Amino acid sequence: MTVMQSLRPADIIAPDHDWWRGAVIYQIYPRSFQDSNGDGIGDLAGIIARLDHVAALGADAIWISPFFRSPMLDFGYDVSDYCDVDPIFGTLADFDALIARAHELGVKVLIDLVISHSSNQHVWFQESQHSRTNPKADWYVWADAKPDGSPPNNWLSIFGGPAWEWSGDRMQYYLHNFLKEQPDLNLHNADVQDALLDVARFWLERGVDGFRLDTINFYFHDRLLRDNPALPPEARNTTIAPEVNPYNWQDHLYDKNQPENLAFLQRLRGLMNGYPGATAVGEVGDAQRGMEIQAEYTSGGDKVHMCYSFEFLSGTTPDATKVAEVLTAYEGTIGDGWACWAFSNHDVVRHASRWNLDEAASRLYAGLLMSLRGSICIYQGEELGLTEAYVAYEDLQDPYGIRFWPKFKGRDGCRTPMPWSSDNQNGGFSDGRPWLPIAVEHLPRAVAAQAGQDGSMLDFYRRMIAFRHAWAPLVKGALSEIATTGDVLHFIRAHEGVRLFCAFNMGDAPAQVTLPAGNWRQDRGAPFAPATEMGGQYLLEPYQAVFAMAERAT
């Protein structure tokens, strides 16, 4: 018997079912990634054609925003059929081909499940609203009007106005936390839970590696429909201007964050455990208690694997002190749970613009992101250094922006198409007219313009992701000794006896940082210029980072 014949398969390849811990996840907004058929809308075939870019970047996985059948009033986040692909994106066969190609490249695939609500065109809702006695009458959140005909309580929609819409068919209101065309499912009903778990099973059987769970803390509502209390003005979140939408004037105790959600998340995790390596990342949308919910939902190993909240998705530029406060709070809260960090996504102004970052600062923040304890999400175009695009009112597509223009311009500015080449006005995205215009200022930052350029932003991201992968402490290690020295944030990442000192000068002036006690050797593999060593200290130029390994005593 040869040596190879004596080995078990597990001895040759030992799959890492915890691959998601510390993974770099690349978010794809399919409408804007790559159009393959000239209709101006990105599609699944386009994603397949561009997966080499994701693999070359070094991402471990992609997260694809919704591509299910939908009337597209909220661009796929209003699902009318959970188990089919909308024709504008392709077919189920295209999706199967995408899975095969991604896995061939070593890239996992997560898809965006939107199960807190559906489209009002879903057959479930069509039946539910027909009468109060049909088999799906209780599949959505219905309630009688108050005696004066007004809505059942004071709950508000994130997209503006009351969270209740009147149905003349049932002579009742239904709940919608988002658009009125996005009625909330009633997960208090066990049949609804079973149907949603069947949806998850359908995609797991097709080979997906997991899910991004949209608005995970919105799944359940208070059965008694109690009014939310008011928040004092100083406690309000001002991400959205209060004169535009007073949603954040309330303390959302009853329209989300309900304790019944834990049991459902355990059911979902139980299903996913049957598919080794499958993972789920939840979006926690809450301005007051996001950290606590994130810890609760990811604790114990029996709910979701990881969650992200909005600490670094706000408009306030996080300086060294703020980052240290957030990381310290997380380390004191997360316990055995797991965080997922992001600076940008499809719902917020791109962070290069939101925080007014120049090239050097953008690299520093990217280096910081890649050094955090947790998993990492990168939004398409972030690796090119894209800024928020200006979209004229007549070109707007986002209903959120159209309603509240000009005080709030919506989300189209971060959703404009990816620039792949700089030699035509559509940036290589489409042969037709793009659904949103390509930003002219994005063309010089196109993938083709940066791909072979040493020192480009794309080159920096590739090297920084590779550096993260090369250091086990950055992927799965503990985080400790979080501190600031002026504008310098520093901490230690450690894993299985290997310690890495990480320091980031987040200011625009040179600064010094003192190394912890011990023997440290600067690692020059990171894509930052080497720091000047000064006898137990490093001198950091503005927006410079340094990484040093603790040398073991001999």
Residue 62 β-bridge partners:
26, 109
The predicted pLDDT at position 354 comes to 96
Q: Confirm if 217 and 184 have CB atoms less than 8 A apart.
A: no
Q: Does 5 score more than 80 pLDDT?
A: no
3-state helix, strand, coil in the chain (%, to 5): 30, 20, 50
What is the DSSP-derived secondary structure letter of residue 263?
H
* Domain parsing of the chain, residue ranges: 18-117+190-224+255-468, 478-550
- For residue 194, what are the contacts with CB-CB under 8 A and spacing of at least 6? none
The predicted pLDDT at position 6 comes to 42
Q: Confirm if 250 and 156 have CB atoms less than 8 A apart.
A: yes
Q: Is 146 helix (H, G, I), strand (E, B) or coil?
A: coil
* pLDDT one-digit tens code per residue, 278-335: 999 999 999 889 999 999 999 999 999 999 988 999 888 999 999 999 999 999 999 9
> How far apart (Å, rounded) are the C-alpha atoms in residues 416 and 39?
15
Q: Structure pTM? A: 0.95
Residue written as tokens 């807190």? 116
> How far apart (Å, rounded) are the C-alpha atoms in residues 154 and 143?
13
Q: Is 112 helix (H, G, I), strand (E, B) or coil?
A: strand
Fold observed for domain 18-117+190-224+255-468: TIM Barrel (3.20.20)
Q: Confirm if 115 and 77 have CB atoms less than 8 A apart.
A: no
Both tokens assigned to 485: 């020295």
If you average pLDDT over residues 501-515, what whole number do you get?
A: 98
Query: Identical fold at 18-117+190-224+255-468 and 478-550?
Result: no
* pLDDT one-digit tens code per residue, 525-552: 999 999 999 989 999 999 999 999 997 6
* pLDDT one-digit tens code per residue, 27-85: 999 999 999 999 999 999 999 999 999 999 999 999 999 999 999 999 999 999 999 99
* pLDDT one-digit tens code per residue, 421-440: 999 889 999 999 999 999 99
* Phi/psi of residue 521, nearest 5 degrees: -125, 125
The predicted pLDDT at position 521 comes to 95
Q: What is the DSSP string of 310-361?
A: STTSSSS---HHHHHHHHHHHHHH-TT--BEEES--TTS--HHHHTT--HHH
The predicted pLDDT at position 549 comes to 96
Q: Does 15 score more than 90 pLDDT?
A: no
Strand 164-167 and strand 142-143: the pairing is unpaired
Q: Does 404 score more than 80 pLDDT?
A: yes
Q: Confirm if 492 and 480 have CB atoms less than 8 A apart.
A: yes
Return the exposure string of 135-169: e unless at least 16 CB atoms fall within 10 Å of the residue's CB, then b. Answer: ebbebbbbeeeeeeeebbbbbbbbbbebbbbebee
The predicted pLDDT at position 309 comes to 86
pLDDT band at 240 (very low <50, low <70, confident <90, very high): low
* pLDDT one-digit tens code per residue, 164-204: 999 999 999 999 999 999 999 999 999 999 999 999 999 99
Q: Confirm if 340 and 376 have CB atoms less than 8 A apart.
A: yes
What is the DSSP-derived secondary structure letter of residue 219?
S
Residues in the chain: 554
Q: Does 553 score more than 90 pLDDT?
A: no
Residues that are catalytic: 214, 283
CATH 2.60.40.1180 is right for the domain spanning 478-550: yes
pLDDT band at 241 (very low <50, low <70, confident <90, very high): low
Average pLDDT across the chain, whole number: 95
pLDDT band at 452 (very low <50, low <70, confident <90, very high): confident
* Phi/psi of residue 223, nearest 5 degrees: -60, -30
